C-alpha cells in the first residue's frame, strides 16, 4: 500500500448553512449547523485513507476539546498521527464555514495552533519513510524543510498552498516541489498565466477550475478534463478531495489523464454532499465513474 505524508493545517470546522452569504450591513438566516474536523492537510489524509492509501500527517492542534476530537476522528480512519503536535495551553484553530444554498463557501477563522509546527519539529525519518509528500498551507519555513527533506530522498512532492499563495513567500518550498496545485485565480495572480512558464517547465502544474473541471500541464504535454455535472451542495473540501484523488491515482499508475479524471470525480462527489469529509471510498469512486459512461 502506498504511503503519503500530508502536512499543514488541522482545524475544527463549524459549518453553518445559510440562505445567502451575508453582505456588509446585511443579515443571513442559519438553516443548519454541524461540527467536524477540518483543515486541508487533515482533509486530504482522510480522503486518501478512503482510497486505500496509507496516510501520515504533520500538523498541530491545541490541548483543548476540539484538538482531542480532531485527533480522535483522524485516528479512527487510520491516519498515522506521530507527526501531529499537541500544543499546551493553546486552542485548536476553529474555522466557521458559511455555505449558501448554491454550495458557495465563505470562511472565518482564528489563528489557533495550526501553524505551531516549526522546521525543527519535523523528523527527517518520518518524511523520508513515505512514497509521496503533499504540502498544504502552513508556515513557509516548515513547508520548505519538509519539501527539501523529501527532495533529497527522491520522494515526489506536491504542493497545494491554497488561498494565501499570493500573500506568503513559499518560493523555497516551490523550488523543491514536483507538482503544484492551484485554482484558476491563483494561477493568474501568482504565475501570471495558468500555463507554465520557464520556471515551471520541469514540473507539473494542475489548475483546478471548479465545476469546469481541471487542466494539468506536464513538461511534455497538457491534458484537460471538463469535470462532472453534479448539483453542488457544499464545495467545502472539494479541492482537498481532488488532490487526494489525483495523488492516489498517480501513485497507482503514472498516468496524468487518469489522475485528472479521478481528481475531478472525487471533487465532484464531495461538492454534491454536505461536509468537507464526504470523500468517497475506492469502490464508491469506481461506481461513480462507471455511471458516467
Query: 79 lies in a domain?
Result: yes
Q: Is the pLDDT of residue 193 over 50?
A: no
- Residue 210: which region, alpha, beta or left (left: phi > 0; alpha: psi -120 to 50)? left
Question: What are 58's three cell numbers?
Answer: 504533520
Cα–Cα distance measured from residue 57 to residue 138, given in angstroms and rounded to the nearest whole number: 13
Question: What's the full length of the chain, in residues?
Answer: 293
Query: 23 lies in a domain?
Result: no
Q: Is the pLDDT of residue 195 over 90?
A: no
- Bridging pattern class, strands 214-217 and 204-208: antiparallel
pLDDT band at 192 (very low <50, low <70, confident <90, very high): low
What angle in degrees, to the nearest 10, is found between the helix axes of 256-271 and 238-252? Answer: 150
Cα–Cα distance measured from residue 13 to residue 7, given in angstroms and rounded to the nearest whole number: 18
* Active site amino acids: 240
Query: 109 lies in a domain?
Result: no
Q: Which of 285, 280, 262, 258 is nearest to 270 (CA)?
A: 280
- When divided into structural domains, the chain yields a total of 1
Is 97:119 a contact under the CB 8 Å cutoff? Answer: no
Q: In what helix (H) or strand (E) does residue 269 lie, and over which residues does it extend? A: helix 256-271
Cα–Cα distance measured from residue 115 to residue 260, given in angstroms and rounded to the nearest whole number: 30
Query: 182 lies in a domain?
Result: yes
Q: Which of 74, 30, 29 is nearest to 56 (CA)?
A: 74
pLDDT band at 196 (very low <50, low <70, confident <90, very high): very low
Question: What are 117's three cell numbers?
Answer: 509546527
Q: Is the pLDDT of residue 22 over 60?
A: yes
Cα–Cα distance measured from residue 243 to residue 182, given in angstroms and rounded to the nearest whole number: 10
Cα–Cα distance measured from residue 273 to residue 32, given in angstroms and rounded to the nearest whole number: 14
Instruction: Please give the residue that has the higher pLDDT: either 178 or 203.
Output: 178
Mean per-residue pLDDT, 95-117? 87
Which domain range does residue 49 map to? 3-10+38-96+114-291
Q: Give the model confidence (pLDDT) of 121-150 as tens digits.
A: 999 999 999 999 999 999 999 999 999 999
Query: 266 lies in a domain?
Result: yes
Query: 269 lies in a domain?
Result: yes
- pLDDT number for residue 104: 81
pTM summary value = 0.91
- CATH number of the structural domain spanning residue 137: 3.40.1190.20
Q: In what helix (H) or strand (E) does residue 15 lie, and over which residues does it extend? A: strand 11-18
Question: What are 215's three cell numbers?
Answer: 487542466
Q: Which of 285, 278, 288, 258 is nearest to 46 (CA)?
A: 278
Q: Give the model confidence (pLDDT) of 35-52 as tens digits.
A: 999 999 999 999 999 999
Query: 105 lies in a domain?
Result: no
Query: 104 lies in a domain?
Result: no
* E strand intervals along 70-154: 80-87, 94-99, 105-109, 132-136
Q: What are the beta bridge partners of residue 18? A: 30
Amino acid at each position: 500500500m502506498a504511503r503519503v505524508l500530508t502536512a499543514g493545517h488541522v482545524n475544527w470546522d463549524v459549518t453553518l448553512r445559510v440562505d445567502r452569504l451575508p453582505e456588509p450591513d446585511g443579515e443571513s438566516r442559519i438553516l443548519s449547523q454541524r461540527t467536524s474536523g477540518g483543515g486541508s492537510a487533515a482533509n486530504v489524509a482522510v480522503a486518501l485513507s478512503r482510497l486505500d492509501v496509507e496516510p501520515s500527517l504533520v500538523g498541530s492542534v491545541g490541548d483543548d476539546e476540539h484538538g482531542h476530537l480532531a485527533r480522535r476522528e483522524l485516528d479512527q480512519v487510520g491516519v498515522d498521527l506521530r507527526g501531529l503536535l499537541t500544543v499546551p495551553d493553546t486552542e485548536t484553530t476553529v474555522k466557521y464555514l458559511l455555505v449558501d444554498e448554491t454550495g458557495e463557501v465563505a470562511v472565518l477563522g482564528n489563528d489557533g495552533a495550526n501553524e505551531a509546527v516549526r522546521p525543527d519539529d519535523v523528523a527527517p525519518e518520518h518524511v523520508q519513510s513515505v512514497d509521496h509528500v503533499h504540502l498544504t498551507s502552513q508556515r513557509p519555513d516548515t513547508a520548505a524543510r519538509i519539501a527539501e527533506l523529501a527532495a533529497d530522498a527522491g520522494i515526489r512532492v506536491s504542493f497545494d498552498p491554497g488561498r494565501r499563495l499570493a500573500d506568503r513567500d513559499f518560493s523555497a518550498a516551490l523550488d523543491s516541489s514536483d507538482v503544484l496545485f492551484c485554482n484558476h485565480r491563483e494561477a493568474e495572480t501568482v504565475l501570471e498565466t495558468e500555463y507554465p512558464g520557464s520556471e515551471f517547465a520541469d514540473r507539473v502544474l494542475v489548475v483546478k477550475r471548479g465545476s469546469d473541471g481541471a487542466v494539468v500541464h506536464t513538461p511534455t504535454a497538457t491534458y484537460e478534463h471538463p469535470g462532472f455535472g453534479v448539483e453542488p451542495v457544499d464545495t467545502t473540501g472539494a479541492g482537498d478531495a481532488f488532490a487526494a484523488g489525483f495523488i492516489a491515482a498517480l501513485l497507482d499508475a503514472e498516468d496524468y489523464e487518469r489522475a485528472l479524471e479521478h481528481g475531478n470525480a472525487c471533487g465532484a462527489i464531495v461538492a454534491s454532499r454536505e461536509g468537507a469529509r464526504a470523500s468517497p471510498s475506492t469502490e464508491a469512486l469506481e461506481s461513480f465513474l462507471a455511471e458516467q459512461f
